Structure 1
Amino acid sequence: MKANLLIALSDRRTQETLTDLIDREKGAEVTVHTLRDPFTLLQTVKSLRPDIVIVSCNVCSPPMIETVRTIADLPKARFILYCETITDELLAERCEGHLSAEESDKEVIDLITSLLTADEREEVPGELTLRERDIIIGVVKGMTNKEIADELFISPNTVTTHRRNIVKKLDIHSASGLTVYAIMNKLVSLQDIEI
């Protein structure tokens, strides 16, 4: 079944560029819709029932995202914040990912792919995918998101998305908690940990 993706940006040129990129790279998997009028966001989300929404702050501020999810009755809809300023990036924590003009085409597609496959990875509650285990090992070793991304040949945004999924699955919110989890589940040994 094809996933629905809604692009809701105020900048038409960026919206068209993202639409073309996603159609070209994910056309068989994703149907892309664009928001014509920012004032119709809620009605559009209710009628399209998108799996992913790429939205900018000036169309829907991040604090309002939960309200849109609730009113549209889409608790599993994933939101990506398109950041136009550094301040926008600080607000992105309420979303499942964020993008900016600096992202490469590959990073955009990696993030969307990661979000689309998140449901498949969550088949067994609490069970981690191999990629999520790799991310935990990187965190336990004291690596930054960028270092983990470079080692695994994925984008830093994808690492961030995996880390959010790990927090949801395990309900562990700190690196020290992940370290204890990793040791108890034999993902790392004490020798692997930098002290």
Structure 2
Amino acid sequence: MTNPLRIFVADDHEVVRRGVCSLLAAHPGWVVCGEAADGREAVEKTRQLKPDVIVLDIGMPNLNGLEAARQILRHEASHRILILTITDSEQVVQEVLKAGAKGYLLKSDAAKDLVTAVEALAQHRTFFNSRVGQIILEGFLGGNAPAPKESAPSPSLTAREREIVQLLAEGKSSKEVAVALNLSVKTAETHRSNIMRKLDLHSVSALVLYAIRNNIVHVPAPYAENASLVPAKVA
């Protein structure tokens, strides 16, 4: 008997997550082996569960989907990750590709394309819609073009510093950052000071703006953006 395809789903909106899980669980031979409501939980659970395919929302709290993808693949490079998002901006697409994800799906297309996307990743293929494919092609053809002045996230930040920027931008105190990352408060405060100095920022509001511009945190989308993923009836 063929083993079922084991899929892990991470999205901070419970209704959306349940909608995605319902679509996937209805497919013969597929099982949803786990769920997470933020990126940090996704990193921890995927290490334990070792799913075949991982579906990650980008705009999750505590640790965004891009950083979660980087950490998951750093631990196990063979994982196949499908990014689920509301935007197909060139900047975000480039970051998704750099992170190592194998698929990119807009939430607005999920109802009709989610199963196809997961099937592609299950067969060790990639999945990108036509708009994303065009961005990839243009990037390949324009490989010698000058890089944009601002890239995201800043290459001068380490993975740990990007985590701290996200937590601070979400309004967490140094003590809360320390608890979330298992650091001492003094170490968290030192990281905060170093980050502000490195980025030449002088206020929390400037840090929040930096985090938004560099896709470290994401402005919540209107509920309508996720409408296609909401189950017709929630038990």
TM-score by length of 1: 0.54
Amino acid at match of 2:74: T
SS at 2:84 equivalent = strand
Q: Work out the CA distance in 1 between the residues paired with 2:108 and 2:44.
A: 31
What is the match of residue 8 of structure 1?
A: 10
Amino acid at match of 2:35: T
In the alignment, structure 1 residue 92 sits paired with structure 2 residue 96? yes
Identity of aligned residues (%): 12
Q: Is the 8 A contact 1:2 1:31 kept in 2?
A: no
SS at 1:81 equivalent = strand
Unpaired segments of 5 or more residues in structure 1? 122-131, 133-154, 165-172, 176-195
SS at 1:54 equivalent = strand
For this pair of structures, how many residues does the alignment match? 130
Q: Is the 8 A contact 1:110 1:158 kept in 2?
A: no
Instruction: Report how far residue 32 of structure 1 moved.
Output: 4.2
Instruction: Report how far residue 113 of structure 1 moved.
Output: 0.5
* RMSD, aligned CA: 3.4
**Higher relative contact order, structure no. (Cα contacts within 8 Å, ≥ 6 residues apart):** 2
SS at 1:98 equivalent = strand
1:166-189 deviations in whole A, cap 9, x for unaligned?
A: xxxxxxx957xxxxxxxxxxxxxx
Q: How does 1:5-84 map to 2 (within 5 A)?
A: 5-24=7-26, 26-36=27-37, 38-59=39-60, 60-71=64-75, 74-84=76-86
Q: Work out the CA distance in 1 between the residues paired with 2:39 and 2:104.
A: 19
SS at 1:103 equivalent = helix
In the alignment, structure 1 residue 105 sits paired with structure 2 residue 107? no
Q: Work out the CA distance in 2 between the residues paired with 1:20 and 1:5.
A: 12
Q: How does 1:176-187 map to 2 (within 5 A)?
A: none
1:71-96 deviations in whole A, cap 9, x for unaligned?
A: 3xx21111111113344445332311
Q: Is the 8 A contact 2:53 2:80 kept in 1?
A: yes
Unpaired segments of 5 or more residues in structure 2? 142-235
CA, structure 1 residues 70+85, in 2 after alignment: closer, same or farther (shift >3 Å)? Answer: same
In the alignment, structure 1 residue 157 sits paired with structure 2 residue 167? no
Amino acid at match of 2:111: D
Q: Is the 8 A contact 1:54 1:80 kept in 2?
A: yes
TM-score by length of 2: 0.46
